[in-house]
Structure 1
Amino acid sequence: MSRPDEEQLVDIILAEQLQYTNAETAERGGLTPEQAARLWRNLGFPDPGDETAFGDADVTAVAIVANAMEHEILDEDTVFRLTRALGQTMSRLADWQATILVDQLESDIVRGKSDSRADAALELAQTSVPGFERLMVHVWRRHLAAAAARLTALGENDQALLSTDMTVGFADMTRFTALSNRLDDASLASVVEEFETRCGDLITAAGARVIKTLGDAMLFVHPDPVLATKISVDIINTIGARPKLPDVRVGLATGSVISRLGDVFGPPVNLAARLSQVARANRLLVDQATADALGDTFEKRVLPPRHIKGFGHLSPITVSERLPFRSR
């Protein structure tokens, strides 16, 4: 059973009384109980059974979905694909936010701002949730507009909407397993967060997109091989210069990728990951397609053939900044 302060915290965040079962919510919102249960699962929550686990806001959410299907704004398959994407994204976002807020709670207690974690959590919920809810919707709209613009830029070719040429980058911290065995939890979390923050800043500032983070690695894409290479060099120079961070290695590959479910798929994705795994610390390896697109912008050196899992024997190409000419 949850403690009273936990129940109070949940009530503040949800801002309503939970009073309906799944069947009652479905009836009020206009879906069948089976559809409502499927919606709930797609959003990332366990089957509530006959518990009173829903409120008026849940009824409104069900009604939105029912209206979209009833008026054929969206077909049922599309609705449930969208809600699954929403559930998975929001679950990760909520966990991420809660972890960050724990640090704030501890800081409030140390500084004497709050007497207990429960008091600090309640105060944060009351003061920050409404504002961040508006911010979250605004940021989602901005990202949706950017995604729509990218699709529009691909033109009217249906095939182009399914796949497009991209340069895929995979930045990977070296010796991360050994590091994780040596550091305590707080120190390890700090290393991962700094890596993700600094890499993410370099990637997004240059017009690339972070596709996902994997703890010790980051996957990103850019339509321009030259700019993707510059980003990779900047990551190596920045992360490699940080004494508190492990060395980093980057793999780049260019070719046709498929964008689905917020992720990218295709041979360039796999090859970029493989190249990062065989690269030396603070080195960038690229495939032939990427190297061909670079011209004389960077220094390039073809390495001896080696076995790349899933691709046979390839000759990776190491790329570095071209040093300026100095006259004697």
Structure 2
Amino acid sequence: MSPSEPDHHHLSSAERDALRRRLNLLILGDQRELTGSDVVEQAGVDPELAQRLWRAIGFPDAGDTAAYSEQDVHVLTAIDKLQRDEALPTDALFQLVRAIGHLVSRLADWQISVIVDAVEGQVSEGRAGTRLEAAVDVATDVVPTFDEVLRYAWRRHLAASAARVEALGEADSELLSTRVTVGFADLSRFTKLSNELDEIGLAKVVQGFENHATDIVAARGGRVIKTLGDAVLFTCPDPRTATTLSLELVRQIGARKDLPDVRVGLATGSVISRLGDVFGPPVNLAARMAAVARANRVLVDQETAKTLTDDQFEARPLPARPLRGFGLVTPVAVSRRRTFRAH
């Protein structure tokens, strides 16, 4: 059943309203019965603080609508206390809030798209009468567990990031800048493919690529910085890890019949890590390398190639070519060195 088709079972207006309230309660934990003014009054804070918090999170201005709950009062009170206690500079405090709002908004959109597919499946298979009923059933099972998963994952990643910062050194310049190998993996001939597939087919390809690529990067010691639809940007602590990981990306994704071929560019050097992203020449150079790589190939810069001098890798310099922003560059094609057994 397509999303535009009606549900098989009819619900009265009162039944729909009751299900919507129940769904809202399952997700938020309490009902939205307070206006912004009510929240400010109960929290006893400056209205400007509330407005700044909600805008940093990404909430639209609700006016006099009852769009808030007791949870909003609790969070606003907690933020006000952090500010008064000067636990962090105010600008830093709201940078953290803005980061949460930005990332969680994307996370919510991602998760809802997955849940919508699950709901459609339940309705089409007759396991639920309407989409709204199916959504309530899914939320009942999923929301409590993923509330825990979200906090668990955040704390684990926070601990890992703190450990990386501690390992860099104490100088401010060392905390801002670090030497890594940057990888950029993208799907070959994606523009042509996007013109051939419908939206659902294209979404499946992108999702499949992101899932497999991020799994391989994480399992092999890399860190995914961001996904860009047909591309994944990642970093590794050293060139050898990045090269091994990239060759595995090419091997696994290239072997799949449901995904296009992949190509990877690597560049090693100093980058600035800021607000969950990385910046610097290696980022751009890795992307340029990927853009000129053939399908199922890994191209690296000279800085990466000079560390791959043992019997594990085979490095072959290619003819120099101009790369935008870098002038004339000599890419190096890397592959696993073949071993031959004597018979």
- Pairing 1:56-135 to 2, within 5 Å after superposition: 56-135=70-149
Q: Would you say 1:306 and 2:321 are equivalent positions?
A: yes
Shift in Å, 1:28: 2.5
1:315 aligns with 2:315: no
Preserved CA contact (<8 Å) 1:30 1:62: no
Q: Which one of 297, 313, 324 corresponds to residue 339 of structure 2?
A: 324
Q: Supply the distance in 1 between the matched residues of 2:67 and 2:204 (Cα, whole angstroms).
A: 36
Question: Residue type matched to 1:191 in 2?
Answer: V
Q: How many residues align?
A: 327
TM-score, normalised by the number of residues in structure 1? 0.95
Q: CA RMSD in A?
A: 1.6
1:229 and 2:237 matched: no
SS in 2 for 1:294: coil
Distance 2:76 2:308 in 1: 51
What pairs up with 1:267-306 in 2 under 5 angstroms? 267-296=281-310, 297-306=312-321
Instruction: Provide the C-alpha distance between the structure 1 equivalents of 2:29 and 2:324, rounded to a whole number of angstroms.
Output: 52
| 1:247 equivalent in alignment to 2:248 | no
Checking the alignment, whether the CA contact within 8 Å between 1:20 and 1:52 is kept in structure 2 is yes
Runs (5+) with no aligned partner, structure 2: 1-15
Contact kept, 8 Å, 1:287 with 1:316, in 2: the verdict is yes
Q: State the identity as a percent.
A: 52
Question: Which digits, 9 at most, give the CA deviation of each residue in 1:136-158, with x for residues without a partner?
Answer: 11111111111111111112222
Corresponding residue number in structure 2 for 1:156: 170
Report the 3-state secondary structure (helix = DSSP H, G, I; strand = E; otherwise coil) of the residue aligned with 2:140. helix
Cα distance change of structure 1 residues 150 and 30 upon mapping to structure 2, 3 Å threshold: farther
Corresponding residue SS for 2:104: helix
What is the aligned counterpart of 1:14 among 15, 18, 28?
Answer: 28
Partner of 2:179: 165
Return the TM-score normalized by structure 2: 0.91
1:209 matched to 2:223: yes
**Runs of 4+ more than 6 Å apart:** none
How far residue 106 of structure 1 moved from its aligned partner, in angstroms, is 1.7
